[in-house]
Amino acid sequence: MAKVLIATDKPFAPVAVKGIKEIFDAAGYETVVLEKYGTQEAFAQAAADVDAMIVRSDKVDSDILCAAKNLKIVVRAGAGYDNLDLPGCSANGVVAMNTPGQNSNAVAELAFGMMVMVARGFYSGKAGTELKGKKIGIHAYGNVGQNVGRIAKGFGMEVYAYDPFMTDEQITNAGASPVGSVEELYSTCQYVSIHTPATEKTKKSIGYDLVGKMPKGAVVVNTARKEVIDEEGLIAVMKERQDIAYMTDIAPDSEEFKQFEGRYFATPKKMGAQTAEANINAGLAAARQIVDFLENGNCKYQLNK
């Protein structure tokens, strides 16, 4: 009987856990749930005898892979997989997957929650501004970015996108106006919503130069990863320009952002994908992918090919 661990320091909604268990019950698997575990040691202990794992942003590093001697597959229930040690998975014969697209709408909705919040002066009662008619630049036009584009149109915004992995035609067909460069995106748009993954190329790539190019009343919304921000550069440009706001779902390392009262906000815990719907979509997809892999060898969403 296969044993599956759901290791989520930030728990799924109970309804999603119930749905995941039902899938594993039907397959004849045992399910173990480890939530809010706090330390990597606790995670490693729980992983010791499992055949498969579902994680969220939980760090699957060499210690976990070493401890999980029976592990055959780990599925990141979500999009970004910078928390998975992919070479380590390969070295240990573990298939790593994600569930692309499953939580995108939730993240996109939160981006708009933060845009409205800043446009309305943090609900202070003072006259704010509207999103209608404003230009929004979507930095990376994948699943989340395209949901942002769809919602932006509902608000009556002009939608621009930059994505180095898409042609202009693909961006146009997916509903946005392409720009020639990332610099052009930032210099064109008052609102920029970041959806780029954290890679060696993108880390610390958004800071003084790009944000400094933005028009008056600039708002940068980050629901992607904190690592893509050059925090020193962003702080410097926010000090120089009182009109720039930074709204983020991933608290920065620097405490200095707290000085920008009224134009800075960070959620206490990353919550873009923290909806019942997103948890159900991503969690159940992960469970199905595990069953399909263990029963049929289906590797469709494998990341470490």
User: Which stretches of the chain bind ligand 3PG, using CB under 6 A?
Assistant: 10, 56-57, 78-80, 103, 270, 272-274
Alpha carbon distance 39, 61 (integer Å): 13
Residue closer to ligand 3PG by CB (options 94, 273) is 273
Question: Is 226 in contact with 253 (CB distance < 8 Å)?
Answer: yes
Among residues 192 and 238, whose Cβ is nearest to ligand 3PG? 192
Smallest separation, CB 77 to ligand 3PG (Å): 6
The CA distance from 267 to 90, in Å, is: 34
Least gap, CB of 18 to ligand 3PG (angstroms): 18
* Alpha helix segments (H runs only) across 100-230: 104-119, 143-154, 168-173, 182-188, 208-212
Nearest-approach distance from CB 259 to ligand 3PG, in angstroms: 27
C-beta separation of 240 from 213 below 8 A: no
Decide: 78 and 100 in contact? Cβ < 8 Å: no
82 Cβ contact partners less than 8 Å away, ≥ 6 residues apart = 197, 198, 199, 225, 227
CB of 273 to ligand 3PG, least distance (A): 4
Closest residue to ligand 3PG: CB criterion: 78
Give the shortest CB-229-to-ligand 3PG separation in angstroms.
Answer: 15
Nearer of residues 103 and 196 to ligand 3PG, judged by Cβ: 103
Residue appearing with tokens 């990341």? 303
- Per DSSP, 215 falls in state P
Cα–Cα distance, 67 to 59 (Å, whole number): 13
Question: From the CB of 198, what's the least distance to ligand 3PG, in Å?
Answer: 10
- Classified as helix, coil or strand, 18 is helix
Is residue 115 exposed (0-12), middle (13-18) or buried (19+ Cβ within 10 Å)?
A: buried
Least separation in angstroms between CB 156 and ligand 3PG: 27
Instruction: Indicate the residue among 65 and 273 with the shorter CB distance to ligand 3PG.
Output: 273
222 three-class SS:
strand
Q: In this complex, which beta carbon is closest to ligand 3PG, that of residue 69 or of residue 201?
A: 201
SS3 at position 35: strand
DSSP helix/strand/coil, 160: strand
Report which secondary-structure segment, H or E, holds 76.
strand 73-76
Q: Which is nearer to ligand 3PG, 158 or 277 (CB)?
A: 277
Identify which of residues 75 and 171 has a Cβ nearer to ligand 3PG in the complex.
75
The residue (of 10 and 213) whose beta carbon lies closer to ligand 3PG is: 10
Minimum distance, C-beta of residue 82 to ligand 3PG, in the bound complex (Å): 8
